[in-house]
C-alpha cells in the first residue's frame, strides 16, 4: 500500500462547477496535510494546509480532513480554466519534517 | 523576497560526466531536501538535511550525493550520471519546528544522454 494515494485522473469538470479531489494516507500518526498545485514543468505551490479534523476554507478552496478515515480532500468551487493543473496531496509523516507526496490528480476545467 | 533558488534550470549532459545542481535558500531554514519527479511516480525524496553537516538518505538515494556545509546551501551531486537519472529535480526547504509547508525551488530539468 502506498503511503499517500490519489487518483491520477484526469478529472474533468465544466467551468463554474465544484471539483472534488481526494487523498488517503496510511500513517495514522500523520499530523500535517497539504495540498499543492503544480502546473506542467513548474514547481509545486501551496494551496491549503490542514492540521485538525473538519473543514478549512480559503476563498474558493476548502480542505477537509478526517483522521479516523485517514482521508483528506480538496474542494474547488466555481472552477476556472486557470485551475487546470495537477494537485498534489502531501502528508508530513514519521514525526519529522519529511513530506510524502501522492502521485497527483490532474484536473481539467473545460469551457 | 523569501525564495529557494536552483541552478541550472535546464541541463543536458552525457553519461558519466559529473555534475552538480545547486540549491540556496534565504529563509534560514534548517531542513532542506531534494526530490525527483517522474511521470506516474510523483515526487520522491532523494536526500534530506536537518542542519549543517547533517544529511541522510531519502527514498531514492542511489547515484546521488549531497553536502551541507552552510545552512543556506544544499547541492545535489551526480558523480556518474546515467540515463535513468533523467528527471525533473526540485529542492525544498522547511523550518525545522512547527507544522509548516515546504518551499520549493523552480526545478531543474536534467537530461542524461
pLDDT (average), residues B4-13:
97
Above 80 in pLDDT, residue B5? yes
Smallest CA-to-CA distance from A77 within A34, A38, A20 is with A20
In chain A, the residue whose alpha carbon lies closest to the alpha carbon of B46 is A98
Chain A: give the shortest CA distance to residue B9, in Å.
11
pLDDT (average), residues B51-57:
92
Per the CB < 8 Å rule, is B104 touching A49? no
| Contacts A–B by Cβ distance under 8 A | 51
Residues in chain B with CB shorter than 8 Å from the CB of A8 are 40
pLDDT for the residue numbered A84: 97
Q: Break chain A down into helix, strand, coil percent, rounded to 5.
A: 5, 55, 45
First-residue to last-residue Cα distance in chain A: 37
Locate B89 and state its grid cell.
529535480
Least confident of B53-57, B89-93, B96-100: B96-100
A98 closest CB neighbour out of B45, B99, B104:
B45
Q: Is the peptide bond before B103 cis (omega within 30 degrees of 0)?
A: no
pLDDT for the residue numbered B101: 81
Chain B: give the shortest CA distance to residue A8, in Å.
8
In sequence order, what are the beta bridge partners of A6?
none
Q: Please say whether the beta carbons of B4 and B105 come within 8 A.
A: yes
pLDDT for the residue numbered A99: 86
Query: What averages of pLDDT result for each successive group of 10 residues across chain A (111 residues)?
Result: 86 97 93 94 93 95 96 97 96 77 95 89
Amino acid at each position: 500500500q502506498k503511503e499517500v494515494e490519489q487518483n491520477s485522473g484526469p478529472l474533468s469538470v465544466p467551468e463554474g462547477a465544484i471539483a472534488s479531489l481526494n487523498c488517503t494516507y496510511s500513517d495514522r500518526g500523520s499530523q500535517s496535510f497539504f495540498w499543492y498545485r503544480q502546473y506542467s514543468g513548474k514547481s509545486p505551490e501551496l494551496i491549503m494546509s490542514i492540521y485538525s479534523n473538519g473543514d478549512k476554507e480559503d476563498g474558493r478552496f476548502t480542505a477537509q480532513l478526517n483522521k479516523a478515515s485517514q482521508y483528506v480532500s480538496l474542494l474547488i468551487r466555481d472552477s476556472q480554466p486557470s485551475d487546470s493543473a495537477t494537485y498534489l496531496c502531501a502528508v508530513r509523516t514519521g514525526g519529522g519534517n519529511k513530506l510524502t507526496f501522492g502521485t497527483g490528480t490532474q484536473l481539467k476545467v473545460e469551457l | 523576497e523569501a525564495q529557494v533558488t536552483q541552478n541550472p534550470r535546464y541541463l543536458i549532459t552525457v553519461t558519466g560526466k559529473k555534475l552538480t545542481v545547486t540549491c540556496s535558500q534565504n529563509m534560514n531554514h534548517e531542513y532542506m531536501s531534494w526530490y525527483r519527479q517522474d511521470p506516474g511516480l510523483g515526487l520522491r525524496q532523494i536526500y534530506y538535511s536537518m542542519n549543517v553537516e547533517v544529511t541522510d538518505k531519502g527514498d531514492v538515494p542511489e547515484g546521488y550525493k549531497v553536502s551541507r556545509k552552510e545552512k543556506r546551501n544544499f547541492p545535489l551531486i551526480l558523480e556518474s550520471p546515467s540515463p535513468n537519472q533523467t528527471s525533473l529535480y526540485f529542492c525544498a526547504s522547511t523550518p525545522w519546528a512547527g507544522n509548516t509547508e515546504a518551499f520549493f525551488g523552480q526545478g531543474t530539468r536534467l537530461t542524461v544522454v
